[in-house]
Chains A and B, each alone.
Chain A
Amino acid sequence: MSAQLLVFFILAALSVIGALSLIFQKHPIHSALSLIVVMVALAGLYLLMGAEFVAAVQIIVYGGAIMVLFVFVIMLLNAGLEEHTSISKMAGFPGILLALALTGFVAATVARSAGLFVQVAGDNGKIPGTLSSTRELSNMIFRNFAYPFELTSILILIAILGAIVLAHREN
């Protein structure tokens, strides 16, 4: 087993454990922390794949900003232990079974379609130099994907506006 593979498995296990922990933690703050674990683990995987910029963004924006926002809200609302109600019958056993079935099917399908992935840059999967990769990324964002990128600004505007509208307390 190569070192990369080993690292992969460790990080994969970490992320899965984090995800499971997200599910089984009773307190939302614990869940949030579990999610951060997942994110960090994923950031590690991104690094493993050579996507440094993405990994950085993952840590900074996702793990940092967004999750902090979560934690902040949890604190703000003083959310306590999760109330364990089971009003929804659907979401009980059948729901979990169905979700597992879906997971299983999707996982099995993608796992078995290994040969179907489109390959462009040869089989080695090496992405050309990381530095240039970030540069190319910026090139792509501002040239190829300029339009959606501009649109995201509107999206952020919407989000700000929305947050104000929703959370703003009048007098």
Chain B
Amino acid sequence: MLPSAIPTPEDFYRVLPEVLWCGFGTLIMLLQPFVKNRHFFTFLALTGALLGTGLSVISGAFAGPGFHGLIESDAFSVFFHLLVGTVAALVVLAADPYLERENLAAAEFYALLLFATAGMGVLAGAQELLTAFVGLEMSSIASYVLAGYRRDSLKSGESAMKYFLLGSFATAFFLYGIAMVYGATGTTLLNQMGAGNPQSNLLKLGLAMILIGLCFKVAAAPFQIWTPDVYEGAPTPVTALFSAGPKAGAFALMLRIFATVPAATHLWFWAFWILAVLTMFAGNLGALVQTNLKRLLAYSSIAHAGYILVAFAAVTYMTSDLNGSAGPAYAAVLFYLVSYAMVKIGAFTIVSQIGGAGEKHLSIDDYAGLGQRQPWVAATLSLFLLSLLGLPITAGFFGKLYIFKAAVESHLIWLAVIMAVNSVIGAYYYFRVIVVMYMREPSAEMAAAPLVRFPITVVLVLLFTALGTVWLGVAPNQVLNFILQPTLIGGLR
């Protein structure tokens, strides 16, 4: 009995966000020759992003496998759809003044952004490796283009080239991994992989290769090497997207694989342990010596990937420990991704605004005296930095807390301690930025320059992210309840 060629309506509901994102992306492309007003596209893209995000609730209502089990609509995927959709909407808002300032085409940018978001959405819902691969490529290829979007800038082009070459390189690994897993298990459906012999070296190797590919995407050391360059060179709103969106998607897939495939969960914990430690140190130590804020934030996002990997180590440990429940560890990952995405987008948006035309003012020294010149901006950036640092009443604190908790509950005390040490190193460079903003006098050039304007869209982004950061830091209950609902975690197992 052949499956029907016509997908059922339910199937469409389950991929509604992707459909909407792709649809709006296409729509924007179609309208591009006819509409000159760039704000119109902003509006359209925002509508699309938000619509897709909002309607992911519908796909959540039709929980279950779709398209013959290739994708799965569950709370988990809804969560990630909400996340990447919100990220996309925020990036749209943040990009509007940026594109205008840098005189870049708006329509294509938004279209690519929406396609990339759709790719991430696919990644989040994928239950099958090929679908995941296509989703990954959607987001990746769009990302390559976005990274090089400032064509006139040497750095932007270089960023795109590095991202593209190394990204494809890693994708090849990922793909090879899929091939081996397929060879070892005869299937690419995640939930059928249990059939394979978990002791099979081929399966191990395949999963390792997949891990390598994903680690590249989430910038885990020693695959993090591309991150600072690409982040620095890419247009700043794109950097904001990179640090939040694709990472979330990749982590989503990683969670699915390493929570679902039995062979993948068995004693993989050392790999995550080592990767986590390396990543944390690589990010934090690298950030210590940075003078460019954008680059510093890039290193910091490496470090945060490391923290998330700590939770992964806990996840894998828990699943290998028969009595343990990995629930809190999953929750830690998810919560962290939310809090982190919010903060990073906010921070990069400010960097994007302060950077000025041509992104000339990226050095930390350019922020000297910001506390006096633009107190609200400085306060907001400080809030983000403190959240990254993990100070209480910010989202970052709870994020870190849950990871610590997951690590401690998995008896990974030393990992927790190493993470603590890294938090302290991190505190140093985040705090240094705050110090510069508040405790240094501005340079003569910056003092003479007019105040940086913050258009309404950017203010909206900042308002949303800042309030979200505080909200998650003060009352994380709702988000936690959502994350911890049994269907979300149970859906994975």
Task: Consider the complex of A and B and state whether they touch directly, i.e. have CB atoms less than 8 Å apart.
Answer: yes
Q: Which A residues fall within an 8 A CB radius of B?
A: 106, 109-110, 112-113, 116-120, 139, 142-148, 151-152, 154-155, 157-159, 161-162, 164-166
B145–A148 CB distance below 8 A: no
- Which chain A positions have C-beta within 8 A of B2? 139, 143
Interface hit among B55-63, B198-206, B457-465: B198-206
Q: When chains A and B are docked, how far (Å) is the Cα of A85 from the Cα of B70?
A: 46
Q: Are A161 and B112 in touch, CB under 8 angstroms?
A: yes
Residue in A112, A151, A157, A158 whose CB lies within 8 Å of B201: A112
Establish whether residues A147 and B145, one from each chain, have CB atoms under 8 Å apart when the complex forms: no
Q: A143-B3, A148-B130 are in contact. Are A113 and B201 (CB under 8 A)?
A: yes
Q: Which of B7, B11, B111, B134 contacts A151 (CB 8 A)?
A: B134
Collect the chain A residues with CB atoms within 8 Å of residue B237's CB: none
Inter-chain contacts of B5 with A (CB < 8 A): 142-143, 146
How far is the CB of B28 from the nearest CB of chain A, in Å? 10
Interface string of B50-94 (1 = CB under 8 A from A): 000000000000000011101100000000000000000000000
Chain B interface, DSSP helix/strand/loop, else mixed: helix
Given A116-B197, A148-B70, A161-B111: A143 touches B4 (CB 8 Å cut-off) = yes
Complex: A118 Cα to B202 Cα, angstroms: 11
CB pair A166–B138 under 8 Å, yes or no, is: no
Given A154-B115, A157-B26, A164-B108: A117 in contact with B184 (beta carbons within 8 A): yes
Q: CA separation between A166 and B104, bound complex, in Å?
A: 12
The complex places the Cα of A164 from the Cα of B201 at a distance, in Å, of 44
Asked if B97 lies at the interface with its beta carbon under 8 angstroms from chain A, I say no
Kindly state whether residue B183 has any CB partner on chain A within 8 Å.
yes
The residue that B138 contacts in the complex, of A116, A143, A147, A154, with Cβ under 8 A, is: A154
Q: Once the chains bind, are B201 and A166 in contact (CB under 8 Å)?
A: no
* A147: B residues at CB distance < 8 A: 7, 11, 15, 66-67, 70-71, 131
Q: Which of B67, B160, B186, B202 contacts A166 (CB 8 A)?
A: B160
State A145–B132 Cα separation when bound (angstroms). 12
Minimal beta-carbon separation of B71 from chain A (angstroms) = 7
Instruction: Tell me the bound Cα distance from A157 to B130 in angstroms.
Output: 19
- Which one of A120, A143, A154 contacts B22 once the chains associate, using CB atoms below 8 Å? A154
Given known contacts A113-B201, A143-B3, A157-B26, A118 and B196 CB-to-CB distance under 8 angstroms = yes
Contact A152 B134 (CB under 8 A): yes
Known: A110-B180, A154-B22. A161 touches B145 (CB 8 A): yes
B203 to chain A, nearest CB (A): 8
Give 4 A-B pairs besides A144-B70, A161-B112 with Cβ atoms closer than 8 angstroms: A143-B4, A147-B131, A154-B138, A158-B141
The listed residue with most B CB atoms (<10 A of its CB), out of A117, A151, A155, is A151
B105 within 8 A of A: yes
Q: How far is the CA of A110 from the CA of B203 in the complex (A)?
A: 10
In the bound complex, residues from chain A placing their C-beta under 8 Å from that of B115 are 154, 157-158, 161
- Complex CA–CA separation, A158 to B113 (angstroms): 10
Tell me if A148 and B185 are in contact (CB < 8 A).
no
If A113-B200, A161-B29, A161-B112 touch, whether A148 touches B134 (CB-CB below 8 Å) is yes
Residue of A nearest to B148 (CB): A166
Query: CB distance B186 to A118 under 8 Å?
Result: yes
Contact A155 B122, beta carbon cutoff 8 Å: no
Q: How far is it, in angstroms, between the C-alpha of A119 and the C-alpha of B195 when the chains are bound?
A: 12
Q: B402 near A: Cβ within 8 Å?
A: no
Smallest Cβ-Cβ distance to B7: which chain A residue: A146
B120 within 8 A of partner (CB): no
Q: How many A-B residue pairs have CB under 8 A?
A: 106
Q: Is the CB of A159 within 8 A of B3?
A: no
Q: Are A117 and B202 in contact (CB under 8 A)?
A: yes
Query: In the complex, which residues of chain B have a beta carbon less than 8 angstroms from the beta carbon of A159?
Result: 141
Query: Which chain A positions have C-beta within 8 A of B18?
Result: 151
Chain A residues with Cβ below 8 Å from B160 are: 166
User: B1-23: which residues lie under 8 A (CB-CB) from chain A?
Assistant: 2-5, 7, 11, 15, 18, 22
The answer on a CB contact under 8 Å between A118 and B141 is no
CB distance from A168 to the nearest CB of B (A): 8
CB neighbours (8 Å) of A155 from chain B are: 134, 137-138, 141
Which residues of the other chain, B, contact A148 by a CB distance below 8 angstroms? 70, 130-131, 134
Chain A residues with Cβ below 8 Å from B151 are 165-166
- Kindly state whether residue B426 has any CB partner on chain A within 8 Å: no
| Chain B residues within 8 Å of A145, by CB | 70, 130
CA A139 to CA B246, docked complex, whole Å = 32
On whether the beta carbons of A162 and B67 are closer than 8 Å, the reply is no
A92 to B184, CA, bound (A): 35
Residues of chain A contacted by B183 (CB below 8 angstroms): 117-118
B144 CB within 8 Å of chain A: yes
Q: Which A residue's beta carbon lies closest to that of B135?
A: A151
Contact B184 A118 (CB under 8 A): yes
Annotate B108-134 by CB proximity to A: 1 below 8 A, 0 otherwise.
100110010010001000000011001
Considering the chains assembled together, what is the distance between the CA atoms of A158 and B29 in angstroms?
A: 11
Answer yes or no: B299 CB below 8 A from chain A CBs.
no
Given contacts A143-B4, A158-B142, contact A109 B205 (CB under 8 A): yes
- Is the CB of B149 closer than 8 A to any CB of chain A? yes
Jot down 15 A-B pairs with beta carbons below 8 A, ordered by A.
A106-B205, A109-B201, A109-B202, A109-B205, A113-B184, A113-B200, A116-B200, A143-B68, A147-B11, A147-B15, A154-B118, A158-B115, A164-B108, A166-B145, A166-B160
A158 contact set on B, CB distance < 8 A? 112, 115, 138, 141-142, 145
**Given contacts A142-B5, A143-B2, A148-B70, are A162 and B112 in contact (CB under 8 A)?**
yes
Specify the chain A residue showing the minimal Cβ separation from B11: A147
Is A113 touching B7 in the complex (CB atoms < 8 A)?
no
What A residues does B67 contact at CB under 8 A? 146-147
